Amino acid sequence: MFVSKWMSSNVISIDKNESLGTALRLMREHRIRRLPVVSKGNLVGIVSDRDLKGALPSEATSLDVWELHGLLDRMKISDIMTKSVITTTPDATIERVALIMMENKIEGLPVLDAKGNLVGIVTEGDVFRALVEITGVRRKSTRISLTLEDKRGSIMGVADVVRAKGGRIYSILTTQAKVPNGTRDLVMRVEISNSKASEIKKELAAKYGDVSVISDTE
């Protein structure tokens, strides 16, 4: 799952010499929350809706509406933009992008090609869309989850039970987070009838203990 598949290629950007007023109008018009800032075609910064709000006068200002608009049109994007921009590339993985966003507490990354050209932007919304597709949750399916021993072949053992009952596996996700050492949580989404899902639950529970089986089709 690469960034190139999920990024927005039609990037709305702004020149560093444009005004705050122009930035506000662009964000409202296109319903976006951040703008890559360019100069002569090169990425030089990024500005978010929070940056713009932070630069606006407080509600207690004595400026009238015309003075306020005049102030916004005099202030330049280069004065408030973030100059140290974290970027990514089209061939980066969407999960690595998610980690970068989480660790740096940011909501979007400009995407640059090998020549440094701005070719897209990937946001937290794109990451969420990718998660939905990776998990297969958009399809009507049955979710099987359990904790099993973290050893070679353990996942195959569960998959074999599902396939033996005629199930079609849409996705398999595992994690070692927040489980006892030596184990892992497994979440599998499958296409299976409700009656066969009950049989799968019974067989897996006999082998692994507590098993959750939730069907979207019930």
What stretch of H or E contains 131?
A: helix 124-135
The span from the CA of 81 to the CA of 8, in Å, is 21
CATH 3.30.70.260: which residues of the chain?
137-215
Domain 3-132: what homologous superfamily?
CBS-domain (3.10.580.10)
Which is more confidently placed, 205 or 65? 205
What stretch of H or E contains 215?
A: strand 211-215
pLDDT confidence tier of residue 20, bands split at 50, 70 and 90: confident
**What's residue 4's pLDDT?**
95
CATH of 137-215, one of 3.30.70.260, 3.30.70.1520, 3.10.110.10, 2.40.50.140: 3.30.70.260
pLDDT tens digits along 148-188: 999 999 999 999 999 999 999 999 999 999 999 999 999 99
pLDDT confidence tier of residue 69, bands split at 50, 70 and 90: low
The span from the CA of 33 to the CA of 51, in Å, is 10
**What's residue 98's pLDDT?**
95
Q: Tokens for 168?
A: 């079609």
Whether the CB-CB separation of 78 and 17 falls below 8 Å is answered with yes
CATH 3.10.580.10: which residues of the chain?
3-132
Residues, the chain: 218
∠ Cα 147 190 156 (to 5°): 50
pLDDT confidence tier of residue 62, bands split at 50, 70 and 90: very low
Query: 44: which residues sit within 8 A by CB, 6+ positions away?
Result: 16, 37, 38, 78, 81, 83
Count of other CB atoms within 10 angstroms of residue 64: 9
Query: 39: which residues sit within 8 A by CB, 6+ positions away?
Result: 15, 16, 17
Q: What is the mean pLDDT of the chain?
A: 88
- Secondary structure (3-state) at 99: helix
Type of residue numbered 7: M
The span from the CA of 209 to the CA of 113, in Å, is 49
Least confident range from 17-21, 51-55, 166-170: namely 51-55
